[in-house]
Each structure stands twice: as structure tokens, then as C-alpha cells.
Structure 1
Amino acid sequence: MARTRRRRVLRWVAWSVVAVLLLAVGGTLAWTQIGVMDAEDGPLADARGNPLITIDDAAEGIVLAPADGTSESGMVFIPGAKVDPWAYVPVLQGVAEQGTTVVITRPWLNLAFFDLRELDDFTSAAPEIDRWSVGGHSLGGVRACQLAADAEALVLFASYCAVDLSDTDIAVLSVSGSEDGLSTPTKIDDARDLLPADAELVQIDGASHASFGDYGPQQGDGTPTISREEMRETVTELVAPFVQG
């Protein structure tokens, strides 16, 4: 009798654990799909009409390339948490115009830390290119830091590393915004010691966290005072020559 009771208790405990795990997994999956910030239609439509670049919705990601096919460098770019990858096409189009192929990834479950793919899973979109940089916005930048060992250079948009790269010789460009309410200037400064001593840190006056993509305002962010056009021009001026080496 006691043995039968113990079996029932153990069975109940086992099913309870299974139920909790299923609820946790289901809740996590649901959370990753709720609140995804979509790309704004106007800026994306303008980028699609840019005659100086091509845009390919490829298996590896969204591939931006110079229309004349003269690309000799590439950059894999990882979006921020729950941000539509297409939201980065407008701000990165200038980098492609200047001769760099850009592969914007589609993180699994819309979150970069769930995406365990390696850099070559994305660089395969343009196998003819030998020089690759890796970059990312916000959480995407944190993931980019983890992939930096396989790249020539690292580009951070409103982000910082959670791994120590201070003893590496990788070239780093960290671009942040003075009005960022999420990756604040203080947070950027506090993580500076994780980057190489010669890392280049640039703060764009008037830029907010969401200024690095075209997906609308973001909760908790500051108010940008820089125009979209000036932001894109500034990003192009900073990033294009850096990733070309």
C-alpha cells in the first residue's frame, strides 16, 4: 500500500515537473514573438529604391551589396533584441554603397543570444570576399563580440562586450549615442576595459538607442535630436572606411 502511494507521488511530481518545463518553454517562445519592433515602411521603401545597391533576401540573411559588384569587404550585422532585421537596411545602405557587402542576420527567436550559428554560416552568402567584419546593435553587439575572434574587425552600435577582448588585436569601432536611454554613455564607459586599448569609441551627438535602426521609438530610450539623414550619413562616414581596412 505504501509502495503504491509512493509511486503515485513520484508520478505526480514527474508530471508536475514536465508541466512546469512545458509552460516555461511555451512562455519563453511566446515572449520572443510579442513586441517585435517592425521596420518602418517609408525608410525601407526608400532603401529598396536605391539604385546604388542590391538587396537580396537570402538564406543567410538580408544581403546588401554595391550594385556594380565591386565589393571586396564584408560585414555580418546582428540585429538588436526583437528588432526586425529589415529595420537596419536604411542605416546600413550607405556602407554597401561604399563597397562593402552587408549580411544582416535573422536571429533565432528574434534574440541574438539564442542564435548559436558561427560567422561562416553568414559569410557564405558572399564566399568570394576574404575580409569580414562582424557587428551588431545592442544585444546583437554582445553576440558580435562572441564571434569577433573569427573576424578582422568588430563594429558595435549602442552596445558593449560581455567577453574580454582587451588582450586581442582585433580592430574595434564602438559607436554610441549621447541620448541613448538603454545603452547609456555610462554603461558604454563602464565596459571600456573589455575592449582593446586602441579601440575607437565615437559618440554621436543627438543619437538615441533607436537611431541605429528604423523601427520607431523604443520604450526606455531617450529622445533623439539628430535627423535620420544625418544619422545615416554619420554612420556611413564612420563604418564604411573602417570595415574596408
Structure 2
Amino acid sequence: MRKFLKYGVGGLVLLLVLLSGGFYVWGEMSLARPTAAALAAMQSDDHVTVEEGKYLSFRPASGEPTLGVIFYPGANCDIRGYAPVFHRLANRGYLVVDVQMPRNFAIFAPDRADDVRAAWPNIRHWVIAGHSMGGAMAGYYAFHHQKDLAGLIIWDSYPPEQDSLADSDLPVWHIHRATLAGAPPEKFEEMRHLFPASSTWVPVPGGIHMYFGSFDGGGYKEQWTPKISREAQQDIVVTAMLNALQKIAASGR
């Protein structure tokens, strides 16, 4: 029995190590990497300061923002791929903190926003946002921290069913890909009951899932063919984000 336990436990540990290593290799191979345009947006300029460290942050080069956005990235996406959108938001006066997740999966650390809030104590109003899996985990966090947040913005995703926000008074926006006629994917309609009735849905007609960021490669298989350019889609996303943030700031929540 002792010999079995010795080698059985040792074998289990070895198996877990091998599985972890295989997951890491798969993750590296299927990682959605930033485009040249995304890397260019990683540079600070006269209007926006970009800092890489424990977090990737974008903030106005002058002045002290009072509203910040905590962003959870999509699964297996290099967080730098969102830089073009976040650079533009920071240029309009907002702090944006792009959160690196373990193994690039937000599901492994859905409460990481706690650390972000502690790291920027001068921010009076926090909005949590996220894309894809990151959007779902932002929904999870919002459900469990409604009194700590000023709003939730989900990109092309929906909250987990067990964390329904249907009865929440939290301001919620959903920015989603849509047909040219403005209709969202059928799955989103099926999950509409997880959002507050007062939530604002903003369609991106002709858009696709990965055009919310600026990525090359990756393992995500698009369901739709894009009908607009990446730049045009991100123009819509930035406008929607600014509208949402302006309304949240005006509400004083």
C-alpha cells in the first residue's frame, strides 16, 4: 500500500505537470497576438501615458482621472491587442487598466479587480468591462460587487447564468457584433434575460468577435464573415464606450 501511495501520488503529480505543460504549449501556439497597430498604440505620447508592469495601464498624461475602467481580456488573447481602443479612451480622460490573467484565461482569476481597485485608491468610480470570457467574468465580478462599481460594460458576451444581473440596478451596457440589420447573435438573444431590463445594447453591424481588439492569429474560429473593417468596428466600440462612461460619470454613482 505504501509503495502504491508513493508511486501513485508521484505519478499523479507527474501527470498534472505534463498536463500543465501541454496546456502551456497549446496556449502559446493558439495565443492571439497584437498587430503592429496594437504595438504602436502601446507607446506613450503627449496625451496618454502607457505603463507596463503588474498591470497594463493607459491614463491621461495630464490631470487626475476620477473614473477608471478595469478590463478583463478575452480567452488566450495578448492583452496588448486592446491597446488601440484603450489609448483612445485614455485620451478622453479615463484611466483604463488592462488586467493580465493567469494562463491568459480570466476564469482563473475573476476577482483580480480587487487588486486593481486597491492599486488606484484615488479613483472614485470604477467600471468593469471585458471581452468574451473576460466579459463573462466581468459579469461575475459585477454580480458579487454591485455596491463597489459604477457600471458594467460587456463586449460580445453575457454574464454567467448563476450570476444573473436581471434584478440589478447597476448600469449595464452590452456592445455586440450584429448583422448589417443590427440583430445580435441568436445566443445573445437567448441570454438577454441575464441582463437588467434597463441595460443598453449597442450593435456593431457587420462586426466580428475578434475585431474588438487588434490581433493576429489565435485559436478563435469566427462564426461570421466581417462586413466592416477592424478600424470601423473599433470606431463604433470607442464611441459606445465613451457614451457609456460619460453617462456613468454624470450619474455620480
Give the TM-score category using the shorter length.
0.7 to 0.9
In the aligned structure 2, how far is the partner of 1:191 from the partner of 1:133?
22
TM-score of the superposed pair, with normalisation by structure 2? 0.83
2:167 aligned with 1:172: no
Match in the other structure for 2:87: 93
Q: 1:124 to 1:41 in 2, by over 3 A?
A: farther
The answer (yes or no) to whether the contact 2:172–2:195 under 8 Å persists in 1 is yes
Equivalent residue, structure 1, for 2:27: 32
Percent identity for Structure 1 against Structure 2: 30
The CA deviation at 1:38 is: 1.1
SS in structure 1 opposite 2:18? Answer: helix
C-alpha distance in 2 between matches for 1:217 and 1:28? 18
Aligned residues, how many?
Answer: 235
Find the structure with the greater CA-based Rg: 1
In structure 2, relative to structure 1, the CA distance for the partners of 1:18 and 1:107 (3 Å cut) is closer
Q: Is the 8 Å Cα contact of residues 71 and 96 (structure 2) preserved in structure 1?
A: yes
Compute the TM-score of the two structures, normalised by the length of structure 1: 0.86
In 2 relative to 1, CA 11–233 (structure 1 residues): closer, same or farther, beyond 3 Å?
Answer: closer
Q: Greater CA deviation, 27-36 or 140-149? A: 27-36
Aligned to 2:57: 63
Q: Unpaired runs of 5+ in structure 2? A: 249-253
Q: Which residue of 1 aligns with 2:195?
A: 195
1:20 maps to 2:15? yes
Residue 220, structure 1, aligned to residue 214, structure 2? no
1:3 aligns with: none
CA distance in 1, matches of 2:228, 2:22: 38
81 and 231 in structure 1: CA distance in 2 versus 1, 3 angstrom threshold:
same
- Which residue of structure 1 lines up, in the alignment, with residue 154 of structure 2? 156
- The superposition leaves residues 90-116 of structure 1 with CA deviations (integer Å, 9 ceiling, x where unpaired) of 022222122211000111111111125
Q: CA RMSD in A?
A: 2.3
Change in CA separation of 1:202 and 1:115 when aligned onto 2, cut-off 3 Å:
same
C-alpha displacement of 1:125: 4.0
**Distance apart, 1:49 and its partner CA:** 5.8
What secondary structure, in the 3-state scheme, does the structure 2 residue paired with 1:141 have? Answer: helix
| 1:81 Cα deviation from its structure 2 partner | 0.8
Instruction: Tell me the alpha carbon deviations over residues 23-66 of structure 1, each in whole angstroms, 9 at most, x when there is no partner.
Output: 3333334333332111112343146265321111132x111112
Paired with 2:110 and 2:200, the residues of 1 have a C-alpha distance of 27
Please, which runs of 5 or more residues in structure 1 have no aligned partner?
A: 1-5
